[in-house]
A and B are shown apart, each in its own frame.
Chain A
Amino acid sequence: MNKKIHAPISHEEAADLRAGDYVYITGTIYTARDAAHKRMQETLDRGEPLPLDLKNNVIYYMGPSPARKGRPIGSAGPTTASRMDKYTPRLLDLGLGAMIGKGKRSQAVKDAIVRSGSVYFAAVGGAGALLSKRILSSEVIAYDDLGTEAIRRLEVEDFPAVVVIDSLGNDLYETAVLQYRKQEA
């Protein structure tokens, strides 16, 4: 089912989404990938506040290529989410609304998605030029020294993604593959 949704996303809104839904996201999202997650974890360990409020917010696992003149951002597709699995349950328990990435998640992340009532979206890996066009603005809000891995606030419009893990724990990667698997020749 095709749906238009807004970011940030409340847990009530996330509960309406089902694995396999094709969504177009409009609103504000934040980027963070490997190095930013490591740093957020260290910040939390020290008992200090994070540079962004996680409540209902959406984290996009993405590190862009540099923007050409006149463009807000360069190529901007998703990176592999599983590298963030180690850090994710803690962020979900702190209120993170949703994540956008690509690839499988660990059982611990799935459990935390169900527990917190959030959702995991996949954007199409390797479609960085197309996804770049759905980003209206980009601003580094933290960890500027990390370059492409800095935390950015993005304004997006009709950003295409697919619900892969929903708040009930359904996982499209597991179900859809079985649907198209064929017997050995």
Chain B
Amino acid sequence: MDQEEERILRTIQTREITENIREMCIEANHFLSQDMCRVFYQAAEKEESPLGKQILEQLKENLQIAGEDRIPICQDTGMAVIFLKIGQEVHFEGDSLADVVNQGVREGYTDGYLRKSVVKDPIERENTKDNTPAVIHYEIVDGDQVEITVAPKGFGSENMSRVFMLKPADGIEGVKNAILTAVKDAGPNACPPMVVGVGIGGTFEKCALMAKHALTRNLEEESPVPYVRDLEKEMLDKINRLGIGPGGLGGTVTALAVNIETYPTHIAGLPMAVNICCHVNRHVRRVI
């Protein structure tokens, strides 16, 4: 290694990742992020249905009990979805990255009294008993830092998520209809008020990944793209006119936010995905 290379590479011991992920799994399942809390509390003020209000009050009390008594917000503590944005000037030393991530999940779910909801094989369905493996998405970015996002995902809402392979002629109206279709079909099953993550463009798998990633975006931030920002606002309004309401029992607060990501796509296609999350939209982010 020459002098110059030695200066620019930053060495990170992979065991550091384990301890961070352990803590982040426990934190995510007991405390909603500040942005989620604020958006939830603001939306709750707008509910018109008496039963809807009663349910939102229960959910507020639930958050309080979860934090104070250290009981997970929801018994479905999710499959651990982890986004790793790795600076290209980072050099890892120690056990392999996937192993240290899974060790963090294992320790977090065991020490934190979180539910083990992962089965080893989708058909044979034997529980792995430590909630591993995680679903890990790696991205190589500029810089010498590692950004870790831990987003435990519950499956009540995951099961109601959809990919739509629209055609270019379907245009933005097709996108709007697809979002409303997914939300209507999800109804009470997705534990509303929900957060709606949307990915538009790319390919079959790219739009699904964007939809998932969109759920981890700060809910108080808007898309930097003007038409996307407008679309997010319009869809939030339209979804809240559907009448689904808290718990799906009727009301005016059906969604807390619509977060949309876009990406260039092929001349022949308009792929899009809608990843629905319940009101327990968990995401914890750290930079090391």
The chain A residues found within 8 Å of chain B, CB to CB, are 20, 22, 35, 62-68, 71, 74-77, 79-80, 82, 102-104, 122, 124-130, 132-133, 146-148, 160, 162, 164, 172-173, 175-185
Tell me, yes or no, whether B65 is within 8 Å of chain A by CB.
yes
Nearest CB on A from B1, distance (A): 47
A66 contacts B113, C-beta separation under 8 Å: yes
CA distance A176 to B55 in the complex (A): 14
A125 contacts B278, C-beta separation under 8 Å: yes
Q: Can you name 19 A-B residue pairings with CB atoms under 8 Å?
A: A20-B51, A68-B71, A74-B75, A74-B113, A102-B188, A104-B188, A122-B248, A126-B191, A126-B279, A128-B76, A129-B71, A132-B71, A162-B247, A173-B188, A176-B49, A177-B248, A179-B250, A180-B250, A180-B251
Residues of A near B113 (CB, < 8 A) are 65-68, 74
Residues of A near B17 (CB, < 8 A) are none
Residues of B near A181 (CB, < 8 A) are 241-243
Closest partner residue, chain B, to A67 (CB atom): B113
CA distance A22 to B58 in the complex (A): 13
Taken residue by residue from 172 to 188, chain B's Cβ proximity to chain A (1 for < 8 Å, 0 otherwise) reads as 00000000000000011
CA distance A80 to B243 in the complex (A): 20
CA distance A172 to B49 in the complex (A): 13
Tell me, yes or no, whether B42 is within 8 Å of chain A by CB.
no
CA distance A146 to B127 in the complex (A): 8
Closest partner residue, chain B, to A2 (CB atom): B54
Nearest CB on A from B114, distance (A): 6
B249 contacts A122, C-beta separation under 8 Å: yes
Nearest CB on A from B238, distance (A): 7
Tell me, yes or no, whether B129 is within 8 Å of chain A by CB.
yes
Residues of A near B62 (CB, < 8 A) are 124, 126-130
Count of inter-chain pairs, beta carbons less than 8 A: 173
The B contact surface, by secondary structure, is loop
Choice from B246, B248, B252 contacting A103 with Cβ under 8 Å: B248
CA distance A68 to B62 in the complex (A): 17
Nearest CB on B from A29, distance (A): 15
Choice from A66, A80, A162 contacting B189 with Cβ under 8 Å: A80
B115 contacts A148, C-beta separation under 8 Å: yes
Choice from A63, A79, A127, A182 contacting B243 with Cβ under 8 Å: A182
B125 contacts A35, C-beta separation under 8 Å: yes
Known: A75-B115, A124-B59, A126-B279. A62 touches B189 (CB 8 A): no
Residues of B near A128 (CB, < 8 A) are 62, 71-76
CA distance A12 to B55 in the complex (A): 28
Residues of A near B65 (CB, < 8 A) are 129-130, 132-133
Residues of A near B237 (CB, < 8 A) are 185
Tell me, yes or no, whether B61 is within 8 Å of chain A by CB.
yes
Choice from B74, B117, B191, B247 contacting A148 with Cβ under 8 Å: B117
Residues of A near B69 (CB, < 8 A) are 129, 133
Nearest CB on A from B109, distance (A): 9
Taken residue by residue from 104 to 128, chain B's Cβ proximity to chain A (1 for < 8 Å, 0 otherwise) reads as 0000000001111100000001010
Known: A64-B115, A68-B113. A182 touches B241 (CB 8 A): yes
CA distance A65 to B69 in the complex (A): 14
Tell me, yes or no, whether B159 is within 8 Å of chain A by CB.
yes
Tell me, yes or no, whether B269 is within 8 Å of chain A by CB.
no
B247 contacts A122, C-beta separation under 8 Å: yes
CA distance A126 to B116 in the complex (A): 17
Residues of B near A164 (CB, < 8 A) are 249
Choice from A22, A74, A82, A173 contacting B71 with Cβ under 8 Å: A74
* 16 extra interface residue pairs, beta carbon distance < 8 Å, beyond A148-B115, A162-B249: A67-B113, A75-B75, A77-B74, A79-B76, A102-B191, A125-B247, A126-B74, A128-B75, A130-B65, A147-B127, A160-B58, A164-B249, A176-B249, A177-B250, A180-B49, A180-B251
Closest partner residue, chain B, to A177 (CB atom): B243
Tell me, yes or no, whether B37 is within 8 Å of chain A by CB.
no
Closest partner residue, chain A, to B114 (CB atom): A65
B245 contacts A76, C-beta separation under 8 Å: no
A124 contacts B243, C-beta separation under 8 Å: no
B72 contacts A173, C-beta separation under 8 Å: no
Residues of B near A132 (CB, < 8 A) are 65, 71
Closest partner residue, chain A, to B59 (CB atom): A127
Closest partner residue, chain A, to B65 (CB atom): A129
B72 contacts A74, C-beta separation under 8 Å: yes
